[in-house]
Amino acid sequence: MANYVIIGIHGLANKPGESELTEWWRKSILEGLQRNEGRDSGRDIELDLVYWRDWNYPVPVPTEQNDEPYIKATGTGRLPEYKENFWDSLREEAGDLLDTPFDWMKRSFGIQETVQKALGIKLRTPELSRLIRSFI
């Protein structure tokens, strides 16, 4: 049994098939742990990828057309850490400024309820129910 569970949630763009994407995530995480933490394996880590590409796209993106494949990092030693910059701060501040008007619009025009109803329909699936029960 794993000591740690990493829950990965992919982005909005179309993705490759679930097994391929999960394997890419696993390789990427293990590479980071090996290079930055000196871990020789990930036996004590379990990866649960929340795969929901099929809610937005009828077919996975073919591997040869995927613009986000896992590619092993070149070189040796620690991988570089991400450093926040001016654009990160600007995005955060802009997001904070826009949140309030967007929330008001959602409430005023009934968009919130529509989105919740749509998500409620999508989220009532046997797969999601099994996933939720597996964490409880």
Annotated domain spans of the chain? 1-81, 83-136
Which of these, 71, 72, 60, lies nearest to 13 by C-alpha position? 60
pLDDT higher than 70, residue 132: no
Cα–Cα distance for residue pair 46/65, rounded to 1 Å: 29
Predicted local distance difference test score (pLDDT) of residue 16: 94
The string of pLDDT tens digits covering residues 63-118 is 889 888 999 999 999 998 888 889 888 888 887 777 777 677 777 776 666 655 55
Range of lowest pLDDT (3-12, 15-24, 28-37, 68-77): 3-12
Predicted local distance difference test score (pLDDT) of residue 62: 92
- Percentage of the chain modeled with pLDDT above 70: 76
As a residue count, the chain comes to 136
